[in-house]
Amino acid sequence: MKKNKSFFIRLITGAGKKYSALILAVSLSLYGAPSLALETSAAGAVVTDCATGYVIYEKNADETFVPASMTKIMTLYVFFSEMDGRGLTLDSPVTVSENAARVAAEKGLSNVPLIQGESYTVDSLISAVCTASACGAAVALAEAISGGEAEFVALMNEYAAKMGLTAYFTDSYGISEYNYITPRSMAALSRKAVLDYPMILNYSSAAKIVWEGKIYWSTNQLLPGMPYAYAGTDGLKTGFTNQSGYCLTSTAVKDGRRIISAVFGTESRPQSFTESEKLLDFGFENCGERIREFYDISCGIDAPEQVYFDEDFTVCAELGGVVTPTVQKGEWLVNDIPIAGYQYDSLNIENGEKIYFHYNTGGYDGGSIKVTLRLYTPSDSVSFDRTIRVLTEYKPTAPEEAAENGQI
């Protein structure tokens, strides 16, 4: 059901001023989770609309689980984020270290053969990670960025913190029982990976690769032509250890809409696929067409009629009426010009969140300024602005301030 709520932006300058209240006919339209029942045997699960980040279904979404090889989604995200800065391209050769070769030869791990001292292209190593879940290839990519796996893992945790994820990693390929993440964070990470680096889907959608003359089939059997094929599936990553159980983060597209599903702790590999199919079905069936709009926002503004020349003032935007918290980009602008230091990659859209903007009118000798808060969705943006008159004179000094300064 559609919920219409409102929130206000309060413009605050100083005590004793007269304020005018400008009330705009505005509302924040968000969509609550469907009330339809769904049962899953997964220990934890989340279903998300990729375009908006809206959570359609959740079960134990904020409990931590061992992600097993789904850890490699973070490995790939960090690699794609860092490769340009390290001078790497898809054609760049990566020389396999003793450590990467050791992991590639370890029994019980998913792998393709890697020879110490031999070079493989970045492209081939990414293919091996995405299709065959190759652990040694993940280590080779990590070392290509940071020189050592431990240094790369530290980078993974830095990225997780910046994204606001509840997650922690101790290796780059997912064997550690000390890696953890919540289903909500796994869905958020996967969404960010797909949106920021859609090329990852070119790799995760491959049903097989050929490595040194041998065929390696994808571990994701939801892909077309596979035993549990689900229409529109093009990713993302499976996982299994004795501690994690069978896990799967999957994504599929139907009629232009992408849904992401993350399941943790199923009892068998087939069950991880059937439960994921059930969750993807639920996502497509219950994520209404109008969720694409996500924000249908207007606002009420309490603001001063005027500010003085060279006066400091603060804008505080306080959010409310949010049904489904999410994270979006945003920025503050003055006269439609973005202000340095006030661009946000990860702005919390949740009840009670306060977004501050501090400014000085010293560059405006009379006239007016327009202060704008702009929030972005992956496909659109919404803006809240208020035009404020700027006086030509300085703010008068209050008697008590003048006395303190020895002026009277």
For 239-276, write each residue's pLDDT tens digit. Answer: 999 999 999 999 999 988 899 999 999 999 999 999 99
Res. 377 pLDDT band, cuts 50 70 90? low
Least confident of 69-73, 155-159, 269-273, 388-392: 388-392
Task: Supply the residues annotated as catalytic.
Answer: 69, 72, 133
Provide the β-strand partners of residue 214. 211
Measuring CA to CA, how many Å separate 348 from each of 10, 237, 315, 345, 375? 18, 27, 17, 10, 11
Mean of the per-residue pLDDT values of the chain: 83
pLDDT of residue 68 exceeding 90, the answer is yes
Least confident of 56-65, 107-116, 384-393: 384-393
> Domain spans of the chain?
2-27+296-404, 41-290
Burial group, residue 99, by CB count within 10 angstroms (0-12, 13-18, 19+): middle
Q: Which CATH class is domain 41-290?
A: alpha beta
Pairing between strand 381-394 and 368-376? antiparallel
Question: Tell me, what DSSP letter sits at residue 153?
Answer: H
Cα–chain center distance at 229: 27
Query: For residue 317, which of 351, 353, 343 has the smallest C-alpha distance?
Result: 353
Rank 174-178, 286-290, 306-310 by mean pLDDT and report only the highest: 174-178
Measuring CA to CA, how many Å separate 394 from each of 1, 306, 342, 365? 52, 12, 26, 10
pTM to 2 decimal places = 0.69
Of the candidate CATH numbers 3.40.50.300, 3.60.15.10, 2.60.40.10, 1.10.150.530, the domain formed by 2-27+296-404 belongs to 2.60.40.10
DSSP string, 310-378: T-EEEEEEE----SS-EEEEEEEEETTEEEEEEEEEEEEESTT-EEEEEEEGGG--SSEEEEEEEEE-S
Say which residue, 135 or 53, is predicted with more confidence. Answer: 135
Say which residue, 126 or 326, is predicted with more confidence. Answer: 126
For 88-141, write each residue's pLDDT tens digit. Answer: 999 999 999 999 999 999 999 999 999 999 999 999 999 999 999 999 999 999
pLDDT of residue 21: 27
pLDDT of residue 319 exceeding 80, the answer is no
> How many Cα atoms are found within 13 Å in the side-chain-facing hemisphere of 150?
0
Provide the β-strand partners of residue 238. 248
Rg (CA), the chain: 26
Burial group, residue 319, by CB count within 10 angstroms (0-12, 13-18, 19+): buried
